[in-house]
Structure 1
């Protein structure tokens, strides 16, 4: 599945104002809003220099999550915002893949429910 960037601030604001699903762990918070007629996920990142100091690490954080989503087969496409909570020091460990699985499984399971449940 292709993953594209959220193009505008209004798209970010729509996800922040009324997310359809939320999931989190110690390193990041993920918000999602279902899009009816979308053909791919749109993703945005909120990562500050205070949380992840080096640009190399911020970019790696983004690349890892984009690549993870690219390999997911979700029935419902969504606008997704990932917020870094702290420096994900385990970025290069195998545990990180497990954490991504847990968070996004919970997120997509919530998105699969019909709206209003």
Structure 2
């Protein structure tokens, strides 16, 4: 059986990690209903934190669905993503989007994040 989990090495685990991303975000990527803030890390792999408030996703079932979709997207694309810490936030109207639309939004956001990261890496070299 293959390991299909979402290990703690792929997660932002404490408030200090979240605060670091919020205070010093190098990248900001918007999607329909979602936004991602990111900052480079030295770990060699991406980590993700999720912030889905009751203000934008009223029902727990909606917040849990969003979390599940983002985790799955990161798990499947972790090898393609740059070495960054990412915080994904919900925006107004996110609960009206279906799963297929959210998957497309996330894939587009990860591609833009990878491009921004590559540009920054090229400009610092």
**What TM-score comes out, normalization by structure 1 length?**
0.84
Query: RMSD of aligned C-alpha atoms?
Result: 2.1
Q: Which ranges in structure 1 are unaligned for 5 or more consecutive residues?
A: none
C-alpha contact (below 8 Å) 1:30/1:81 kept by paired residues:
yes
Where is the strand percentage greater, Structure 1 or Structure 2? 1
Aligned partners of 1:13 and 1:22: how far apart in 2? 15
Q: Which 4+ stretches in 1 moved above 6 angstroms?
A: none
Q: Distance in 2 between matches of 1:5 and 1:19?
A: 17
Q: In the alignment, is the contact (CA less than 8 A) between 1:61 and 1:91 conserved in 2?
A: no
Aligned counterpart in structure 1 of residue 113 of structure 2, from 104, 107, 112:
107
Alignment correspondent of 2:73: 68
CA distance in 2, matches of 1:42, 1:57: 22
Instruction: Give me the whole-angstrom Cα distance separating, in 1, the residues matched to 2:106 and 2:69.
Output: 10
Q: Name stretches of at least 5 consecutive residues in structure 2 with no aligned partner.
A: 1-5
Q: Which has the higher contact order (CA 8 A, sep 6+)?
A: 1
